[in-house]
Amino acid sequence: MFLALYVGCGIVFTVLEAENPFGQMPRYTAIMIAIIVAFLCYERDKKLTEKVDVYCEGAGRPGVMQFGLILFLAGGFAGSVSAIGGRASMVNLGISIIPGHFLIPGIFIICCVLSTCIGTSMGTQVTMIPIAIALAEGAGLDVGMAGAAAVITVVLYAFMSGAGTLTHYRACCRDSGLL
């Protein structure tokens, strides 16, 4: 499915003489469509959670693959929000409301509240790091500090939630062979 979609779109855009024909269809989009089609076609009487488990076990180490799927979907969300102008509007709103010297602590507090509300610090990171960096660039602040304000949320969330995130990191590293 992936090859048919990606190569097929590349060939069609080549025939239409588009600039960078194989770049017109992002590979990640083709992969996501192929995964969704596989979920829809595979044993329709099974629940989605069972299908995800089968996919993760067949694609590699289950813990790492689930982590990758979460980041993949969160990255897609962040990309689509950015494409419709959400990133630019957040930057303009943040710069106009929050004074420059409170922007870095503001990013940290927003990330803390967001991760607590949605229940995932990793999703918060993938969503907020691009926004935090854009806010810092727009306000002329240190980009590294803005990124660190979003990243440190994971550590704080881990301690507040009973170290679930740190245990998850250790398990993912152990499953992938890093530890």
For the chain, the structural domain boundaries read 74-176
Q: Which two tokens stand for residue 141?
A: 């602040």
Question: What is the pLDDT at residue 30?
Answer: 84
Task: State residue 15's pLDDT score.
Answer: 92
Each of the 179 residues of the chain gets a pLDDT tens digit; together they read 888 888 898 899 999 988 888 888 878 778 888 888 888 888 888 888 888 888 888 877 777 777 777 777 776 776 777 778 876 777 777 778 878 788 888 888 888 777 777 666 677 777 788 888 888 888 888 888 888 888 887 667 666 665 555 565 566 556 555 55
pLDDT at residue 170 in the model: 62
Q: How far is CA 19 from CA 11, 12, 28, 79, 150, in A?
A: 12, 12, 19, 22, 37
DSSP annotation of 47: -
Q: Are 77 and 128 in contact (CB under 8 A)?
A: no
Residue 100 DSSP label: G
DSSP result, 136-163: HHHHT--HHHHHHHHHHHHHHHHHHTTS
Residue 49 tokens, joined? 């959670």
Structure tokens at 79: 């990309």
Provide the residue type at 105 as one letter: P
pTM above 0.95? Answer: no
In the chain, % helix, strand, coil (3-state, to 5) comes to 80, 0, 20
- The single-letter code of the amino acid at 118 is I
Phi, psi (degrees; rounded to nearest 5) at 67:
-60, -45
pLDDT computed for residue 172 by the predictor = 55
Measured distance CA(132)–CA(121) in Å, rounded: 15
Paired tokens of 137: 């660039």
First to last CA, the chain: 35
